[in-house]
A and B are shown apart, each in its own frame.
Chain A
Amino acid sequence: MESIDVLMLCPMISYLEQELQRRYNVLKLWTAPEKSQFIKDHSATIRAIVGDGGHGADAEMIEALPRLEILSSNSVGVDKIDLKKCREKGIRVTYTPDVLNDEVADLAIGLILAVLRRLCASDRYVRSGKWKKGDFKLTTKFTGKTVGIIGLGRIGMAIAKRAEAFNCPICYFSRTEKPDTKYKYYPSVLELASNCQILVVACSLTAESRHIVNREVMNALGPKGVLINIGRGPHVDEPELVSALVEGRLGGAGLDVYEHEPEVPEELFSLENVVLLPHVGTATVETRKAMADLVVGNLEAHFSNKPLLTPLV
């Protein structure tokens, strides 16, 4: 059987690389000295792309690959893929929903606890020997605090379920109100932020949701409010976030994503009410394997003319 050329956009866990190499001829874009030349050289044979949350295909790349049939993304976020272009050209797009809901929701709660209870700051306090000189300060209770969720999709619901176990009242904003939930709906993010103590960004990134958390929203959340972002960096106006935190207009933040990863505003490094993670929302051995299996499974299904496992387009 002729070998199928698959363009891999960036390094991924070795398990995934191996499984792809076993089945296909994998072309590793990041090893090319000149990326656009590399694509040109292989444009006649590339039939599939494997990308991730941070690496997708824009219109230019799609146009440059006339034999492209499918893009299998190792992520649930697809904001880096020109979906419209894919639809136009009949290119299939698959992603990895559901296998990572728990993981991301766990991290959201972990971030809430880390910020409110100052887990990272107090760990540093102990390691630096300061505990010998005096007790650490009081921290903020989590149980019973109102949690506001932007985006009540699969991940948002998983976060709500966990927060409920801490007796937290839940409210949300979503593009449309969800009739079959008991949680309180607010028709705007601003109203949501004015009525909760912990605001969690859990929606997908689209043109409408860019900077959905802006200066006004942060001021409404306030000096006792905490922002948790496990969505995408561009959901939050990052320079405004930095000044809100530095000036104390916002009580704290737990961030897993940033506007220009891996760059993180250095002004945040010294703030003990801020916890910064390097985009590890799905970063467990088990979940990365489950995601990888979906990436490969979708490609296998496509190339054997079977129904795709998790198609988006």
Chain B
Amino acid sequence: ESPVPLDQFLSTNARNVQALLSCGRFPINVDLLRLLPSLRLVVTPSAGLNHIDLSECHSRGVAVANAGSVACCDVADLAVGLFIDVLRKISAADRYVKQGLWASKTSYPLGSKLKGKRIGIVGLGSIGQEVAKRLEAFGCSISYNSRNQKKSFSYPFYSNVVELSANSDALVICCGLSDQTHRLINKEVLLALGKEGVLINVGRGAIIDEKEMVQCLVQGDIGGAGLDVFENEPNVPKELFALDNVVLSPHRAAFTPETLTSMREIAVGNLEAFFSNKPLLSQVIDD
């Protein structure tokens, strides 16, 4: 709300600031951190951490707390919703009916069965685990790639995303964006997924090489996609608008009133814990 430029505002007013509440998109980087010498805590209401320079925070002794797993069910629900939509052509058929085209009696193109589909989950964190649990109930089989193998889950683990993709009928991207996951889903991974393969992204747009993905979809090298996130939101590649096998969502996976309330509560809870010298509720530990 101040008319003064940020760095001036901070150097004048913020020398004693100990805790920062991020609005979720503003970058918390070295330039900002340098202006806050007393900072000991960054709280972000999101689950995503890609807007925060975690190693810079770590080296400055600044703790980071996020929304933990409060959003994981809503995000998982959306991932599953997008997957069913792509396979059974729900949004495309809804468009068809609402344009008055059903009356013309040409039968609508058939979709594809969920049961027996091999799902490759990229990132088996709290979101990925909820996606797995839901899709198992539809008769899908689960495999995954993650930074580390999770011993408590019996799903087959692939250390290589290309291999995971080659053995999957669908990839569901549930991981966070980091240096390791930037453009993780590249042309090789997409071609391994194949002409019938479906790509679902509820992580971050930049995990996928968007240009390659668009080309694969336009050329039919992959079978379809359900996307909640994009490289440069709110811009979405126009080529996707003409495709019926693509479902587009405006980054709303976590946005239900219940989850927003939980995110607010946990952010406040973290701040309260910090100022009363108690352990943070959802501290981000780099594992």
Q: Tell me if B82 is interfacial: C-beta within 8 Å of chain A.
A: yes
Are the C-beta atoms of A141 and B250 separated by less than 8 Å?
Answer: no
A100-138 contacts to B, CB under 8 A, are: 102-103, 106-107, 109-111, 113-114, 117-120, 122-127, 131-132, 135-136, 138
| A110 surroundings in chain B (CB, below 8 A) | 81, 84-85, 88, 90
A277 at the interface (CB under 8 A from B): yes
Is the CB–CB distance between B111 and A284 below 8 Å?
A: yes
- Of B28-36, B93-101, B185-193, B278-286, the stretch lying at the interface with chain A is B93-101
Do A166 and B247 touch (CB < 8 A)?
no
Instruction: Collect the chain A residues with CB atoms within 8 Å of residue B255's CB.
Output: 138-139
Of the residues B110, B137, B258, contact of A141 by C-beta under 8 Å: B258
B78 contacts A by Cβ under 8 Å:
yes
- Contact between A102 and B139, CB atoms less than 8 A apart: yes
Residues of B within 8 A of A161 (CB): 137
Question: Which of chain B's residues have a CB closer than 8 A to the CB of A264?
Answer: 97, 102
B20 within 8 A of A: no
In the complex, the answer to whether B136 meets A165 with C-beta atoms within 8 Å is yes
* B residues 119-161 in Cβ contact with A at 8 Å: 133-134, 136-139
Query: With A103-B113, A135-B250, A284-B112 known to touch, is A143 a contact of B88 (CB < 8 Å)?
Result: no
Residue B252 CB within 8 A of the other chain: yes
Instruction: Pick the residue among A102, A164, A275 that contacts B113 (CB under 8 A).
Output: A102
Chain B nearest CB from A65 CB (Å) reads: 26
Is B90 in contact with A111, judged by CB distance below 8 angstroms?
A: yes
Give the residues in chain A near B233, CB-CB below 8 Å.
131
Measured CA separation A288–B109 after assembly (Å): 12
Which residues, 264 to 306 on A, are CB-close (under 8 Å) to B? 264, 266, 269-270, 275-278, 280, 283-288
Residues of A within 8 A of B90 (CB): 107, 110-111, 114, 119-120, 275, 277
Bound complex: CA A142 to CA B258 (Å): 10
Closest to B74 in A: A141
A286 to B234 alpha-carbon distance, docked (Å): 37
A285 to B78, CA, bound (A): 25
Cα distance, A123 to B137, chains bound together (Å): 26
- B276 on the interface (CB 8 Å rule)? no
Q: Is the CB of A126 within 8 A of B250?
A: yes
Decide: A285 and B95 in contact? CB cutoff 8 A: no
Contact with B along A135-176 (1 / 0, CB 8 A): 110111111100000000000000001101111000000000
In angstroms, Cα B80 to Cα A135, docked, is 22
Judged by a CB distance under 8 angstroms, whether B103 is at the interface is yes
Interface size on A, residues (CB 8 A): 55
Knowing A139-B252, A286-B112 are in contact, say whether A164-B91 is a contact too (CB < 8 A).
no
Name the distance in Å between B238's Cβ and chain A's nearest Cβ: 9
From A113, A119, A124, A138, name the one whose CB has the most chain B CB atoms within 10 angstroms. Answer: A119
- Give CA–CA (A161, B100) in the complex, Å: 34
> Is A307 engaged at the interface, CB distance under 8 Å to the other chain?
no
Q: Is residue A263 contacting chain B, with contact meaning CB distance below 8 A?
A: yes
In the complex, are the beta carbons of B93 and A141 less than 8 A apart?
Answer: no
Contacts of A165 in B (CB 8 A): 133-134, 136-137
Please measure, in the bound complex, the distance between the C-alpha atom of A109 and the C-alpha atom of B111, giving whole angstroms: 15
Smallest Cβ-Cβ distance to B80: which chain A residue: A113
Please, which residues of chain A bring their CB within 8 A of the CB of B248?
122-123, 126-127
A262 within 8 A of B: yes
**Pick the contact of A114 from B94, B107, B111 — CB < 8 Å?**
B94
Contacts of A276 in B (CB 8 A): 93-94, 97-98
What are the residues of chain B within 8 A of A102 when measuring CB–CB?
Answer: 113-115, 138-139
Chain A residues lying within 8 Å of B96, measured Cβ to Cβ, are 278
- Chain A residues in 8 Å Cβ range of B235: 132
Bound-complex Cα distance A144 to B249 (A):
22
Q: Are A119 and B73 in contact (CB under 8 A)?
A: no
List of A residues within 8 angstroms of B134 by Cβ? 162, 165-166
Closest 10 CB pairs of A and B: A113-B81, A165-B137, A110-B84, A143-B73, A126-B248, A141-B256, A131-B234, A276-B97, A286-B113, A120-B94
**B residues at A contact (CB < 8 Å):** 73-74, 76-78, 80-82, 84-85, 87-91, 93-98, 100, 102-103, 105, 107-108, 110-115, 133-134, 136-139, 233-236, 241, 247-252, 255-260
7 residue pairs from A and B, CB less than 8 Å apart = A110-B90, A132-B234, A138-B260, A142-B81, A164-B137, A277-B93, A287-B113
Interface residues of A (CB under 8 A from B): 11, 13, 102-103, 106-107, 109-111, 113-114, 117-120, 122-127, 131-132, 135-136, 138-144, 161-162, 164-167, 262-264, 266, 269-270, 275-278, 280, 283-288
- Given A262-B102, A285-B110, A286-B113: 13 more A-B contacts, CB < 8 Å: A13-B110, A110-B88, A114-B85, A117-B252, A120-B94, A122-B250, A123-B249, A131-B233, A131-B234, A131-B250, A136-B250, A141-B73, A161-B137
